[in-house]
Amino acid sequence: MTDHILVIDEGTTSTRAMLFAKNGACLGSAQRPLTQHYPAPGLVEHDAAEIWCLTLECAREMVAQAGGAGAIAGIGITNQRETIVFWDRRSGEPLARAIVWQDRRTADICEALKAAGHEADVQAKTGLLLDPYFSGSKIGWALKNWPQLKEAGEHLAVGTIESYLVYRLTGGKVHVSDASNASRTALMAIGSGDWDDGLLDLFGVPRSILPAICDSAGPLGMTDPDLFGAPIAITGMAGDQQAALIGQSCLEPGQTKATFGTGAFVLTQTGRTLPKSSNRLLATVAWQLGGERHYALEGSVFVAGSLIQWLRDDLGLIDASPTPSRWRAVSRIMVVSIWSPLCPALERRTGNPMPAPQSTA
């Protein structure tokens, strides 16, 4: 009886699969950590083959727990956004490491495009800013600097994480990206929901290597029967922050969610109205159904949970089970870290010097 839902949550530091009953109860979870590669300061990469293998391991655990593929009604996928994968269409194998959303290697490219006056046009078309965070400049950089991508010729495929996972899950039959993820590439016109030729030219990205943009839910593909013993329908995809917006039931305009993971993100649902910010906030697709897009206004902080990981793994200030006194120390460090860069901006806005945070411990 197909009364279970399999959810794949492919994040920045780990990948997991979760099994849900039709009433929403979580019946099980399998999780694996991901290796973080830092080839140079400011560069962050993932091994897409590792992502695929560990994600498949987790998914198979949950399918087995459900009693087999026949017990799964559908698969939903959520993923770290903006991270970009390059692979060979023939085998599905990656041709290079994935460039992670945190990676800053294209900072100079983005600054040059800003200096040339392109940011206003990019923001008007995409709702985004010229920043290495987004996928477009990463793809253009890779095409120029990694010769194996050029050598792949017509066999080169490119996509964000959910696009790569769907390609592998369907045995190479489906190359798609849902609109919530595609809107984070800086290559999609957020109003029309299609790749924009002007943006493709700006970043040097051929349309032919990109996935088709699709709805966030519907009949998106069927898994290769060899993976789970029988085919399973893939029925939903959304970028992690948009998935959190939906998961927190922000289904009406004005409803807002704030979540804290590797980074921290606040999204306000704006319905069918495309938000426009004069304060460098981002407009993004919340979801697309039946070709109709709903939007959100987003504020992003790149470092949140990753700060805790750095304090634990690199500085050794906390352990896996920190004591309350250590958490208070960590909290003070986080407050100072967040407060310090805010003070100059607040002083400029208010005209008053801002006091340093005081310890209560």
Q: What is the pLDDT of residues 318-333, one digit of tens each?
A: 776 555 555 455 454 4
pLDDT at residue 328, rounded to an integer = 55
Mean per-residue pLDDT, 129-147: 96
CA atoms within 13 A on the CB side of 58: 26
Task: Indicate if the pLDDT at residue 350 is higher than 70.
Answer: no
Contact in structure between 79 and 181 (CB atoms under 8 Å):
yes
Phi, psi of 285 (to 5 degrees): -80, 125
Mean pLDDT of 350-356: 39
The whole-number pLDDT of residue 207 equals 96
Average pLDDT (251-268) is: 87
Give me the pLDDT at residue 108, please.
95
pLDDT at 304 over 90: no
Q: Are 285 and 190 in contact (CB under 8 A)?
A: yes
Quote the CA–CA distance of 100 and 34 in Å, as a whole number: 12
Q: How far apart are CA 306 and CA 100, in angstroms?
A: 14
Q: Taking the model in full, what pTM does it have?
A: 0.84
Distance from C-alpha of 257 to C-alpha of 270, rounded to nearest angstrom? 12
Identify which has the larger pLDDT, 248 or 155.
155
What value does the mean pLDDT take over residues 1-30? 91
CA 48 to chain CA mean position, Å: 14
